[in-house]
């Protein structure tokens, strides 16, 4: 892998982390129930991706998905489950907890990559992930602001993201944007009857549309293109930048001041990601 490709992958995944870190801000700004939010976010995300796909190199996506058989459709279902887990977690635990539980994704991605593909992660990436995990322990284990159900849902979301990272890196034939579009649509359709989507006001509907666009039309393509250029463990580690960013947006918008443990743990996660990337750039290629 060339240094230029590595840098591009880093930039793309970092940009996706910034886009996805706004999820907590949207959930705090939109005044609808969780099922309604999931329904409209899924619908708008699917519409946005459907409009985007003709401009990206996945024009044979349908035939590629059909050729994968049940594996491709299983990927669609698990991705839809991850979307439901994500927003449900934000409703049952703090934004900070959801963000930093995602920092365990490097371990899940590394374990999945080793189990499925016998891809051994580097010692440097594992060490950085251990440091990030220490930040998770500080923020979640001692923060005292999360709920057990919300934390479990956040972990479920993290597991589905780890699967996505491994698939994007090692199975380029998978039409990621099409499967994401179908997953988004599936999550929206399943949640529609359980909410009150037709009772949403104009302001909230506009924010829901923006939520779907930022997460799916901006965040997901950037993440997918970056993940194809980086090992899964490194993709997940960079994605952990969500941890210090998500509470920052909520604090700036709502003055929801993070606890001391959240600040300390977030700093640890940020330092682990930054030091790993600096070391990776300084390593001869």
pLDDT digits (tens, 9 = 90+) for 4-62: 888 888 899 999 989 988 888 888 899 998 889 989 999 999 999 888 877 766 666 66
Query: How large is the average pLDDT for residues 189-204?
Result: 92
Higher-pLDDT residue of 141 and 97 is 97
Residue-level pLDDT at 280 = 67
Residue-level pLDDT at 210 = 95
Query: How large is the average pLDDT for residues 73-93?
Result: 81
Residue-level pLDDT at 279 = 74
pLDDT at 139 over 60: yes
- In terms of residue numbers, what domain contains 145? 3-282
Q: Cα separations (Å) of 89 from 12, 32, 97, 251?
A: 26, 15, 9, 19
Residue-level pLDDT at 99 = 67
Q: Give the Cα separation of 19 and 146 in Å (integer).
A: 23
Residue-level pLDDT at 48 = 92
Of the candidates 159, 280, 168, 149, the one whose C-alpha atom is nearest the C-alpha of residue 221 is 168
Residue-level pLDDT at 12 = 92
Angle, helices 202-212 vs 34-52, to 10°: value is 50
Query: How large is the average pLDDT for residues 262-271?
Result: 80
Per the CB < 8 A criterion, the answer to whether 266 and 244 are in contact is yes
Q: Give the Cα separation of 79 and 224 in Å (integer).
A: 13
pLDDT at 259 over 80: no
Counts of helices then strands in the chain (DSSP H, E): 15, 0
What residues contact 28, with CB distance under 8 A and at least 6 apart?
Answer: 95, 250, 253, 254, 256
Q: Count the domains in the chain.
A: 1
Query: How large is the average pLDDT for residues 116-124?
Result: 72
> What are 208-248's pLDDT values in tens digits?
999 999 988 888 888 888 888 888 888 888 877 877 787 78
Residue-level pLDDT at 253 = 82
Q: Cα separations (Å) of 25 from 137, 186, 231, 256?
A: 23, 24, 29, 11
Higher-pLDDT residue of 144 and 59 is 59
| Lowest-pLDDT range of 29-38, 252-261, 274-283 | 274-283
Give the pair of three-digit tokens for residue 146.
């999360």
Angle, helices 3-20 vs 220-227, to 10°: value is 150
Query: How large is the average pLDDT for residues 250-266?
Result: 78
**Is this prediction's pTM over 0.85?**
no
| Lowest-pLDDT range of 98-112, 153-167, 213-227 | 98-112
Q: What percent of the chain has pLDDT over 90?
A: 15
Higher-pLDDT residue of 253 and 119 is 253
Residue-level pLDDT at 272 = 83
Residue-level pLDDT at 44 = 95
Residue-level pLDDT at 204 = 95
| Lowest-pLDDT range of 152-161, 216-225, 256-265 | 256-265
pLDDT at 284 over 60: no
pLDDT at 1 over 60: no
């Amino acid at each position: 892998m060339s240094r230029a490709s590595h840098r591009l992958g880093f930039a793309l995944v970092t940009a996706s982390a910034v886009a996805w870190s706004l999820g907590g801000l949207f959930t705090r700004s939109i005044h609808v129930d969780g099922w309604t939010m999931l329904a409209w976010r899924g619908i708008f995300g699917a519409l946005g991706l459907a409009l985007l796909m003709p401009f990206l190199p996945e024009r044979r996506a349908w035939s590629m998905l059909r050729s994968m058989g049940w594996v491709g459709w299983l990927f669609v279902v698990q991705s839809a489950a991850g979307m439901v887990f994500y927003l449900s977690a934000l409703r049952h635990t703090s934004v900070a907890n959801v963000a930093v539980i995602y920092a365990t994704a490097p371990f899940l991605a590394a374990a999945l990559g080793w189990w499925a593909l016998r891809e051994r992660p580097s010692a440097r990436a594992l060490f950085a992930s251990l440091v990030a995990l220490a930040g998770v322990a500080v923020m979640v284990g001692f923060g005292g602001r999360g709920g057990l159900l919300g934390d479990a849902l956040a972990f479920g979301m993290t597991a589905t993201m780890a699967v996505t990272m491994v698939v994007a890196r090692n199975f380029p034939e998978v039409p990621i944007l099409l499967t994401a579009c179908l997953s988004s649509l599936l999550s929206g359709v399943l949640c529609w009857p359980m909410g009150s989507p037709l009772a949403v006001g104009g302001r909230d509907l506009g924010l829901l549309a923006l939520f779907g666009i930022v997460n799916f039309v901006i965040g997901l393509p950037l993440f997918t293109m970056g993940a194809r250029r980086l090992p899964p463990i490194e993709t997940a580690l960079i994605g952990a930048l969500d941890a210090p960013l998500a509470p920052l947006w909520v604090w700036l918008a709502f003055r929801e001041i993070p606890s001391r443990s959240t600040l300390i743990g977030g700093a640890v996660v940020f330092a682990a990601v930054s030091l790993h990337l600096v070391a990776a750039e300084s390593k001869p290629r």
